[in-house]
C-alpha cells in the first residue's frame, strides 16, 4: 500500500510539472509581442483566419506587393522557389495583393486561385490591400517611410531580422536575380 502511495504521488507530481510547463509555454507564446512595425494582425487571403506578423519576429522578411493580372505575375513562381530554398534558413516571404495599379481581380476568390492554384504559392498571402498613399496597410506605410512606395506591382522589400534595415527592389528585379539573392543571403547570415 505504501509503495502504491509513493508511486501515485510521483506520477501525480510529474503530471503536475508537465501541466505547469505546458501552461508556461502556452502563456509565453500567446503573450509574445514585438515592438516593431510587424506588430499588426492581418487577414490571410480568402480566409477568416488572421495572423499577427510578430510570429515572424527575429526572421528576415521578403515582402512583395502582388497583382493577379500583371506582366510580372509569373514572378510568383520565382518567389515560391525563393521561399522553398530559404525557408529552412529562416526567411519568410509575405505577399500582399493590391489593386493600387488596377491589375488585381475584383473577387478575392480569383486572386486566391491565381496564387494557390496557378502558381502553387505556399508562403503567406494576405487579403487584398492598399500599398501606397495614406490608405496603405501598416506594413507598407512603414516600408514606404523607410524607402519609398512601390511604383508598380511586384516590388520587393528585404527586411533584416532585427528590422534595422530595408532594401527595396523594383518589379524588374527577378526573384532569382543575383542582386536580390545577395540581399536575402546577407539578411539570413545575420540571424
Alpha carbons 131 and 99: distance in angstroms, whole number: 9
Pairing mode, strands 61-66 and 50-52? unpaired
| Residue of 15, 34, 54, 70 marked catalytic | 70
CA 73/CA 68 separation, integer angstroms: 6
Distances, alpha carbon 21 to alpha carbons 52, 82, 156, 184, in Å: 24, 37, 41, 36
Q: Distance between CA atoms of 101 and 114, rounded to whole angstroms?
A: 17
Retrieve residue 163's grid coordinates.
528590422
Establish whether 70 is a catalytic residue: yes
**Interacting residues of 100 by C-beta distance below 8 A, sequence separation 6+:** 65, 130, 131, 132, 133, 150
Name the grid cell of 104: 488585381
β-bridge pairing 61-66 and 156-159: antiparallel
- Rounded to 10 degrees, what is the CA torsion of 155, 160, 164, 168? -20
List, by residue number, the catalytic residues: 70
Amino acid at each position: 500500500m505504501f509503495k502504491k502511495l509513493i508511486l501515485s504521488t510521483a506520477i501525480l507530481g510529474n503530471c503536475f510539472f508537465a501541466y505547469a510547463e505546458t501552461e508556461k509555454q502556452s502563456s509565453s507564446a500567446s503573450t509574445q509581442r514585438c515592438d516593431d512595425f510587424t506588430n499588426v494582425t492581418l487577414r490571410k487571403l480568402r480566409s477568416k483566419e488572421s495572423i499577427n506578423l510578430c510570429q515572424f519576429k527575429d526572421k528576415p522578411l521578403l515582402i512583395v506587393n502582388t497583382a493577379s493580372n500583371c506582366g510580372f505575375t509569373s514572378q510568383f513562381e520565382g518567389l515560391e522557389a525563393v521561399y522553398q530554398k530559404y525557408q529552412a534558413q529562416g526567411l519568410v516571404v509575405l505577399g500582399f495583393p493590391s489593386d493600387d495599379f488596377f491589375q488585381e481581380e475584383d473577387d478575392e476568390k480569383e486572386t486566391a486561385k491565381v496564387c494557390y492554384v496557378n502558381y502553387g504559392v505556399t508562403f503567406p498571402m494576405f487579403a487584398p490591400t492598399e500599398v501606397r498613399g495614406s490608405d496603405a496597410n501598416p506594413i507598407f506605410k512603414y516600408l514606404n517611410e523607410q524607402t519609398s512606395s512601390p511604383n508598380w506591382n511586384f516590388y520587393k522589400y528585404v527586411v533584416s531580422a532585427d528590422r534595422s534595415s530595408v532594401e527595396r527592389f523594383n518589379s524588374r528585379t527577378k526573384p532569382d536575380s543575383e542582386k536580390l539573392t545577395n540581399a536575402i543571403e546577407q539578411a539570413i547570415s545575420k540571424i
